[in-house]
Amino acid sequence: MNSQDLQSNATLKDVAAAAGVSLATVDRVINGRPGVSDKTTRKVNDAIERLNFHPLAAAAELARSRPCRFAVLLPRGDNRFMADIADNIRAQAAWFRARRIAVEIIETNVFDADTLAAELAALTGRFEGAAVVALDHPRIRAAIDDLVESGMAVVTLVSDVPSSRRAHYVGIDNIAAGRTAGSLIGRFLGGRSGRVGVVTGSAALRDHAERLFGFGQVIAEEHPGLSLLPPVEGRDDPQQNRALVARLLADAPDLVALYNTGEGAAGIGAALADAGAARRILCVGHELTPDSRRLLLDGTFAALVVQDPGHEARSMARVLRALVSGRPILPAQEQIRVEVILRDNLP
């Protein structure tokens, strides 16, 4: 099963010699540039095959080597998960610099379509690529399409705009994430019945909406003993979440579980602690932050459904780079997984 006994290390020059043509011609064939006769093309391809030629990545990069600029649009505010993404992008600074990639992180009000659309429009011409955490809104879709039209490589990050012409989505399947949360709650409850409270950030964000959808699906299909209370919106803000959960606890005595589709876990933990209901109400939320980690460790949360911000930052970088240099991406490596974190497999 020896993989590569036939490691060849032939160079472009070898191919040129073998085919009886010049370097430039071989280059044209390899990179699919026009202006080569069929006969010559065949000769070259033949030589490539025979010598088992494969271009050396470093040499090609060096020779191409155009500096390039990426913009990353992140929501402004104290969202911890977004801060993690930003940190992970910054942690790659050395990687970027070593490849002459300049990345600019732009924080903006992602919730306001006009602001975001304007911010997107302002990118034109200044960057070769952009990643954006975007609201799924017609105006945003149009702004993304305009950028793509202008030749920019655009990817969505964390929350997708599937109807746009973005080249790629770097993030998880949020319906699956919601379903996973639903299954965890359903199964951890072990057949008990009762009401389940749902705290969400904002129904305007596609990722939250999709999670809610997936969650509802599973509860309805597979756990008929459970019924969902109407979702309450806390904007991912701990203070608001605290108040909302306090009310939930007061209003619904048969509350058995809580699902938080977004952030602000600290508020939920506080409300539960206030009511002395901390490990009695089963809680599942999303994303790993210092707060959610603490609440997972102390048992307030039973599980967290997460995505890896480090993976997302790296994937974004690789994908944008591949896109601007016209190379293929490896789908397997770029698929961001829906992960389940219990106290025991906390990274």
Partner DNA sequence: CTGTTAGCGCGTTCAA
Partner DNA sequence: TTGAACGCGCTAACAG
Return the bridge partners of 339, or none: 306
Q: How far is the CB of 149 from a second copy (least distance, A)?
A: 26
Selected binder of a second copy within 167, 176, 204, 252 (CB under 8 A)? 176
Does position 239 bind DNA by CB under 7 A?
no
Return the bridge partners of 148, or none: none
Return the bridge partners of 258, or none: 197, 283
Single-letter amino acid, residue 196: V
Q: Which is nearer to DNA, 18 or 256 (CB)?
A: 18
Single-letter amino acid, residue 126: R
Q: How far is the CB of 20 from a second copy (least distance, A)?
A: 25
Q: Which is nearer to DNA, 9 or 163 (CB)?
A: 9
Q: How far is the CB of 176 from a second copy (least distance, A)?
A: 5
Selected binder of a second copy within 78, 104, 112, 251 (CB under 8 A)? 104
Does position 13 bind DNA by CB under 7 A?
yes
Q: Which is nearer to a second copy, 144 or 172 (CB)?
A: 172
Report the C-alpha gap between 227 and 173 in whole angstroms.
24
Long-range contact pairs involving 87-95 (C-beta distance under 8 Å, separation at least 24): 87/309, 88/309, 88/310, 88/312, 88/313, 88/314, 89/313, 89/316, 89/317, 91/310, 91/313, 92/313, 92/314, 92/317, 95/317
Does position 27 bind a second copy by CB under 8 A?
no
Span from 38-46, 144-152, 239-247, 339-347 in contact with a second copy (CB under 8 A): 339-347
Return the bridge partners of 255, or none: 195
Report the C-alpha gap between 249 and 265 in whole angstroms.
16
Does position 297 bind DNA by CB under 7 A?
no
Selected binder of DNA within 4, 5, 32, 39 (CB under 7 A)? 39
Q: Which is nearer to DNA, 40 or 217 (CB)?
A: 40
Q: Which is nearer to DNA, 43 or 166 (CB)?
A: 43
C-alpha 77, offset from chain centre: 19
Q: Between vectors from CA 261 to CA 165 and to CA 223, what angle results, nearest 5°?
A: 110
Does position 69 bind DNA by CB under 7 A?
no
Selected binder of DNA within 46, 50, 52, 65 (CB under 7 A)? 65
Does position 55 bind a second copy by CB under 8 A?
yes
Q: How far is the CB of 95 from DNA (least distance, A)?
A: 15
Report the C-alpha gap between 164 and 138 in whole angstroms.
9
Does position 183 bind a second copy by CB under 8 A?
yes
CA torsion sign for 143, 149, 150, 152 is positive
Selected binder of DNA within 46, 49, 50, 59 (CB under 7 A)? 59
Alpha-carbon distances of 18 from 6, 50, 125, rounded to whole Å: 18, 9, 43
Interface ranges with a second copy (CB under 8 A): 1-5, 7, 9, 54-59, 61-62, 65, 67, 86, 88-91, 93-94, 96-100, 102-107, 176-177, 179-180, 182-184, 187-192, 214, 218, 302, 305, 308, 310, 314, 332-333, 335, 337-345, 347
